[in-house]
């Protein structure tokens, strides 16, 4: 699949899925602890009280076949994926919760805040992934630069 040419078709589907997942976690996820609120502020999150975390056995992926193909081709999600941020919703694999991973995901929350919404952030982020690859995407480089050591 030529992901770049398919982006106009993929984006509305990805945004719809991401917004639905964010709504679900915001309604049922857990708030950050006081220590985690401090981490959130230190990586630039302006409204850390809005963040909710859901511990999961597997990072969720869309059921849409076209999105599944795109995810497979970009390598965005795989068996070793341990975290995912969708707006103010953070998914963390239950055996991977750490300060390093949380600070990385919270930096993505900051990026969503700067963009203004999931619908504005995702087109930029997904374009970076398609053009440069996951490891070289500027948003990922930025998130890795804000990772904090700790348990």
**What's the per-residue H, E or C state across the chain?**
CCHHHHHHHHHHHHHHHHHHHHHHHHHHCEECCHHHHHHHHHCCCCCHHHCEEEEECCCCCCCCHHHHHHHHHHCCCCCCCCEEEECCEEEEECCCCCHHHHHHHHHHHHHHHHHCCHHHHHHHHHHHHHHHCCCCCHHHHHHHHCCCCCC
What domain range is 66 assigned to?
Answer: 3-145
Rounded to whole angstroms, the Cα distance separating 9 from 67 reads 10
Q: Is residue 62 assigned to a domain?
A: yes
Q: Is residue 37 assigned to a domain?
A: yes
Q: Is residue 135 assigned to a domain?
A: yes
36-94 per-position pLDDT tens digit: 999 999 999 999 999 999 999 999 999 999 999 888 888 777 778 899 999 999 999 99
Mean pLDDT of 116-139: 94
pLDDT at 151: 67
Rounded to whole angstroms, the Cα distance separating 14 from 106 reads 20
Q: What is the mean pLDDT of the chain?
A: 94
Q: Is residue 123 assigned to a domain?
A: yes
Q: Is residue 85 assigned to a domain?
A: yes
Q: Is residue 151 assigned to a domain?
A: no
Q: Is residue 150 assigned to a domain?
A: no
Q: Is residue 99 assigned to a domain?
A: yes
Rounded to whole angstroms, the Cα distance separating 53 from 59 reads 12
pLDDT at 5: 86
Q: How many domains does the chain have?
A: 1
| Tokens read off for 115 | 């963009």
């Amino acid at each position: 699949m030529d992901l770049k040419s398919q982006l106009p078709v993929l984006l509305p589907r990805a945004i719809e899925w991401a917004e639905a997942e964010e709504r679900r976690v915001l309604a049922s996820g857990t708030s950050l602890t006081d220590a985690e609120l401090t981490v959130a502020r230190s990586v630039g999150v302006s409204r850390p009280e809005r963040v909710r975390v859901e511990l999961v056995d597997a990072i969720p992926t869309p059921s849409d076949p076209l999105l599944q193909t795109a995810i497979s081709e970009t390598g965005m999600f795989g068996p070793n994926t341990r975290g995912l941020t969708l707006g103010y919703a953070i998914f963390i694999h239950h055996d991977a919760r750490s300060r390093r991973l949380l600070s990385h995901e919270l930096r993505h929350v900051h990026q969503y805040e700067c963009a203004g919404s999931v619908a504005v952030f995702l087109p930029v982020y997904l374009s970076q992934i398609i053009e440069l690859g996951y490891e070289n995407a500027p948003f990922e480089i930025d998130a890795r630069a804000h990772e904090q050591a700790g348990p």
